Amino acid sequence: MSKVEIIRLNSARNALRYLLKAYKIPKICVPYYICPAIKSTLNKEFCKVEYYHIDDKFMPVGKFKWDDYILYPNYFGICTKNVEILSKKYFNLIVDNAHAFYSEPMGLAAFNSPRKFFQKHYGVMEGAYLYTKKVLDKQLKISEDYEIDEEINYEKFIKNENRLDKEPLMLMSHTTEKIMSYINFEEEKNWRLNNFYMYAEKFGKTNELSFEPDKNEVPFIYPYFTHNEKIGYELANQGLEIYRYWDGIPSIFDEYKFYKYLIPIPLF
């Protein structure tokens, strides 16, 4: 069996781009409910996409062929059990762990996004760790260094997102590697878990989403699903940065309810 390599790249979307090239993937199955940056990347690479639906447990609806390439996001970092099930059934499962930095890689390949977990506290502006057994026979340039900014507001966040969307496939910058070298990962993990269970205690009884995190999971956000739309405004007024995941899904799809009614409460 080939050894799993860890490739340090400049973004999660480019980690997917790397896999498309390395495995020469002509077609991939992708959920309708996913980050628009992923869809944009697939379009730019002219990869044929077959979209699939998910149920209330974030599991794919229907079945795939055993050799289909399947992209599955570990939604909000609480879907590791789903990943385990899918990785045993499908040979070519690619796991998007952008919301699950601490999760062990499973499937054919997996990638995460340190930026999503460590931007707020440490100023990480780019980067991805890709776990793959197939390596591109191509020399990649290193992403440009950047000035560390630990005061990230929404405007800066959007500006950086737009910058990343235009960046070609490159290796992780020296700046990100330096920041990652001094992060206390255990401390950050405990911080997130404490906040997660604080919100679970506060909102668990009114949360319409049923889930039980795995003991080894470190969620990205607390997913609070409620048809009471006032709560989102109340939390925003309390100073919490509330983003909706993800815009662009057709309202006729059942998954649209996640965009409309799921409040992703940040854990930083």
User: Distance (Å, rounded) from C-alpha 89 to C-alpha 119?
Assistant: 35
**In CATH, what is the architecture of 185-266?**
Alpha-Beta Complex (3.90)
Comparing 146 with 160, the larger pLDDT belongs to 146
Residues of the chain with CATH 3.90.1150.10: 185-266
Q: Which residue has the tokens 């628009």?
A: 36
Find, among 173, 177, 223, the residue nearest to 196 by Cα.
Answer: 223
Res 191: pLDDT: 94
* Mean pLDDT along residues 20-49: 96
Look at residue 136 and tell me whether its pLDDT is greater than 90. yes
Residues of the chain with CATH 3.40.640.10: 5-181
Find, among 61, 33, 32, 65, the residue nearest to 49 by Cα.
Answer: 32
24: left (phi over 0), alpha (psi -120 to 50) or beta: left
Task: Give tens-digit pLDDT for 54-97.
Answer: 999 999 998 999 899 999 999 999 999 999 999 999 999 999 99
Res 213: pLDDT: 78
Confidence (pTM): 0.94
User: Distance (Å, rounded) from C-alpha 131 to C-alpha 2?
Assistant: 12
* Mean pLDDT along residues 178-197: 96
User: Distance (Å, rounded) from C-alpha 89 to C-alpha 60?
Assistant: 12
Q: Does domain 5-181 have CATH number 3.40.640.10?
A: yes
Q: Which residue has the tokens 């409460």?
A: 265
* Mean pLDDT along residues 185-208: 94
Res 212: pLDDT: 80
* Mean residue pLDDT across the chain: 92
Give me the percent of the chain exceeding a pLDDT of 70.
Answer: 97
Res 142: pLDDT: 97
Res 150: pLDDT: 67
**Neighbour count for residue 29 (Cβ, 10 Å):** 21
Q: Helix 154-166 crosses helix 36-44 at what angle (to 10 degrees)?
A: 20
The alpha carbon of residue 122 and the mean position of all alpha carbons in its chain are separated, in whole angstroms, by 18
Find, among 144, 64, 79, 141, the residue nearest to 110 by Cα.
Answer: 79
Look at residue 265 and tell me whether its pLDDT is greater than 80. yes
**Neighbour count for residue 156 (Cβ, 10 Å):** 13
* Mean pLDDT along residues 98-123: 95
Most confident of 192-201, 209-218, 231-240: 192-201
**Omega of the bond prior to 246 within 30 degrees of 0, cis?**
yes
Residue environment code for 59-72, b if the CB has 16+ CB neighbours within 10 A, otherwise e: ebeeebeeebbbbb
User: Distance (Å, rounded) from C-alpha 262 to C-alpha 78?
Assistant: 14
User: Distance (Å, rounded) from C-alpha 54 to C-alpha 61?
Assistant: 5
Look at residue 244 and tell me whether its pLDDT is greater than 60. yes
Res 86: pLDDT: 97
User: Which band of pLDDT confidence, cut at 50, 70 and 90, is reported for residue 219?
Assistant: very high
Look at residue 1 and tell me whether its pLDDT is greater than 70. no
Count the helices and strands in the chain (H runs, E runs). Answer: 9, 9
Strands (E), the chain: 5-9, 27-31, 48-52, 69-73, 92-97, 109-112, 128-132, 221-225, 262-266
